[in-house]
Amino acid sequence: MRNLSAEEKNTIALGKRLAELRKKRGHTQIELAQKMNLIQSVISAYERGRIRMTSEVLIQFCSALNVTPSVLLGIESENESELSLKIVKRMLKIQQLPLSKQKRLFATIDDTLKANDLLP
């Protein structure tokens, strides 16, 4: 057996994460393929690391599995990603508040961060 290149190892690792996320969400390869307008054998090939994933395909998988690219790439865990999404959603809601209420809210947040030595 020949030694795998770093790129080949990364492709295999990405395929394994893809399979784990698919299974965790309760999808078969056939169901995921249908969701993405592909055939099951293509999903299998990605999961086994036989096909190198383009950025466009990676985004399609993320959308189909409802994960961020960071989660699929193994940079971030799903728990970290969920927390980040919660923060982003809250920030979007804060943007809808009048400026005076935003300032008061941010002052409260800053006070809390300072009290916990997280801000200078």
Is 10's pLDDT higher than 70?
yes
Q: DSSP label at 76? A: S
Query: What pLDDT was estimated at residue 91?
Result: 84
pLDDT, mean of residues 2-26: 93
DSSP three-state, residue 75: coil
Query: What pLDDT was estimated at residue 82?
Result: 66
Q: Report angle CA 67, 72, 75 to the nearest 5 degrees.
A: 110
Sorting pLDDT into bands at 50, 70 and 90, what band is 83? low
Is 5's pLDDT higher than 80?
yes
pLDDT, mean of residues 4-28: 94
pLDDT, mean of residues 4-33: 94
Which token pair is 76? 């971030």
pTM, 2 dp: 0.66
Sorting pLDDT into bands at 50, 70 and 90, what band is 89? confident
